Each structure stands twice: as structure tokens, then as C-alpha cells.
């Protein structure tokens, strides 16, 4: 099974959804499930760290008081806690995540996509780190096992820009309106940090289908050019 997840590291429901997906995965031990984290920016135009914390930003954006802004995030903090996550909106640093997504692409290529995604989420939502800052990204990526200097080189250049844009374009094409967005086996979609049970049900459906003999459309008509343990068979339409 393959689960694609579009999410952004500054997206609180994305981290909560990640935990709920992981809880669901824990209910299928020994099953082969590949989870792929894909690039999605809530706001590609977001400024880098302006010195405002998340509550100050929310208060300014909606013309509310700081207390009212705190009220807006309370529910998410409580939901996070139920998934064992510790959110700190009072010190959380809103920033632009494009560079972090470029590094996440590199991490996926290196087989470290999941580790780096986890580190980046925790950095923003729990540790109040600035994920738009080059040195911070490099430190976090190195903690997750990437080569720090390679990451610095990527951050100072433009590598992986197209990979990020391609996955964002893919999200747009399949109609993703917000994050997180989960797609199971290119067939079932789950929009949002839904309850763990919904992920479990989606995976059960998908596993049940995988166990049935899949009906591929055979383009080749089985006319040879294959090898078996009994030797190699040339194509039917060629003479030996």
C-alpha cells in the first residue's frame, strides 16, 4: 500500500493528522505500507520570520486581541495533546517553508523523507524554531541524518525547486484545497486531520482490494520475451 500525504510544516492539523495516520498504521503491524510526504505550502507568498509569533500574526490578520487569537488556537492545542503533541502557538514562528520543502525533497531522495518531515514539524510546532532560516534548516536536517554541508549547498542554490513545484501542481490538479490531504493507493482520499478510525477504515478497504487478484489491463497480450525458471522465451512474432 502507498499513502501520499500533502502537508506543510507550519500546518498544525498536518502534524496532528500525521500522528493519527501513524496510530492507524500501528494497527497493521507487519503490513507493507509506504508513506510518502509531498510538498504543499499553505501560503507560497508567506514572508519569512517577521518577528511576530503566531498569536500576534493571527491577532493582526483578523483585527482581534491576543486573547482572542489564543482562543482561536486553543482547540488545536487540545487536539494535539490528545495525539501526544505539545504545540506552542505563543512562541511559534510563522515563516516561509519553501526552502524546507526543497530540503525535504532531497531527504526523500536519500531515503530520509519521513525522518526529516517529523523533525521539521516538531521544530515549528513544538520547538518554536524558524524553519525559514538557512542555518536552522541545516541543523535540523543534519539531526535527521542528512549531510549538513550538502543541505547548505541546496539552500544556497535552487536545487529541488521543480520537484516542490511539481508536487504542488499535482495537489492543485487533484483538487487539494487545504492540508493535510491523504491519498491511499491513488484511490481513496482523506481530507484533513480526520479521526484515526477513518484512516484505519481507508486502509482496511485498500488492503482488502490489494488481496483480490488485481485486474490489470494487459497491454502486451503475454506474447513472450520473458524468462522463467525454465528458460527464456522469445517473442511469438519473431523467429528463433
Give the binding site for a copy of itself (CB under 8 A).
Answer: 8, 11-14, 16-17, 32, 42-43, 46, 58, 61, 71-72, 75-76, 108-111, 166, 170, 173-175, 177-181, 183, 185-194, 198, 201-202, 211, 213-214, 216-220, 222-229, 231-235, 238, 240
- Measured from the CB atom, the residue of 134 and 159 that comes closer to a copy of itself is 159
Calculate the dihedral angle through the C-alpha atoms of 5, 34, 215, 173, rounding to the nearest 10 degrees. 20
Reported as half-sphere exposure (CB side, CA atoms, 13 A), residue 23 has a value of 18
DSSP letter at 239 equals -
- Measured from the CB atom, the residue of 51 and 111 that comes closer to a copy of itself is 111
- C-alpha cell, 125: 510546532
Alpha-carbon distance 26 to 79, whole Å? 19
Least Å distance, CB 92 to a copy of itself, is: 12
- C-alpha cell, 227: 524468462
Least Å distance, CB 159 to a copy of itself, is: 14
Q: What's phi and psi for 177, nearest 5 deg?
A: -100, -25
- C-alpha cell, 158: 535552487
- Measured from the CB atom, the residue of 26 and 224 that comes closer to a copy of itself is 224
Least Å distance, CB 65 to a copy of itself, is: 16
- Measured from the CB atom, the residue of 75 and 135 that comes closer to a copy of itself is 75
Amino acid at each position: 500500500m502507498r499513502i501520499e500525504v500533502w502537508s506543510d510544516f507550519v500546518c498544525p492539523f498536518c502534524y496532528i493528522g500525521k500522528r493519527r495516520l501513524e496510530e492507524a498504521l500501528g494497527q497493521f503491524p507487519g503490513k507493507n505500507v509506504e508513506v510518502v510526504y509531498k510538498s504543499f505550502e499553505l501560503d507560497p507568498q508567506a514572508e519569512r520570520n517577521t518577528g511576530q509569533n503566531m498569536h500576534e500574526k493571527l491577532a493582526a490578520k483578523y483585527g482581534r486581541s491576543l486573547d482572542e487569537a489564543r482562543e482561536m488556537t486553543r482547540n488545536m492545542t487540545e487536539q494535539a495533546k490528545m495525539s501526544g503533541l505539545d504545540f506552542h502557538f505563543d512562541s511559534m514562528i510563522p515563516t516561509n517553508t519553501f526552502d524546507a520543502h526543497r530540503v525535504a525533497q532531497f531527504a526523500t531522495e536519500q531515503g530520509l523523507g519521513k525522518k526529516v518531515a517529523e523533525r521539521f514539524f516538531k521544530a515549528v510546532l513544538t520547538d518554536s524554531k524558524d524553519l525559514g532560516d538557512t542555518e536552522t534548516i541545516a541543523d535540523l536536517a543534519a539531526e535527521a541524518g542528512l549531510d549538513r554541508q550538502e543541505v547548505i549547498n541546496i539552500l544556497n542554490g535552487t536545487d529541488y525547486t521543480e520537484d516542490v513545484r511539481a508536487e504542488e501542481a499535482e495537489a492543485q490538479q487533484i483538487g487539494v484545497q487545504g492540508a493535510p490531504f491523504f491519498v491511499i493507493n491513488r484511490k481513496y482520499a482523506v481530507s484533513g486531520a480526520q479521526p484515526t478510525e477513518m484512516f484505519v477504515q481507508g486502509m482496511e478497504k485498500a488492503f482488502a482490494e490489494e488481496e483480490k487478484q488485481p485486474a490489470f489491463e494487459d497491454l502486451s497480450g503475454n506474447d513472450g520475451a520473458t524468462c522463467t525458471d525454465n528458460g527464456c522465451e522469445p517473442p511469438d512474432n519473431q523467429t528463433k
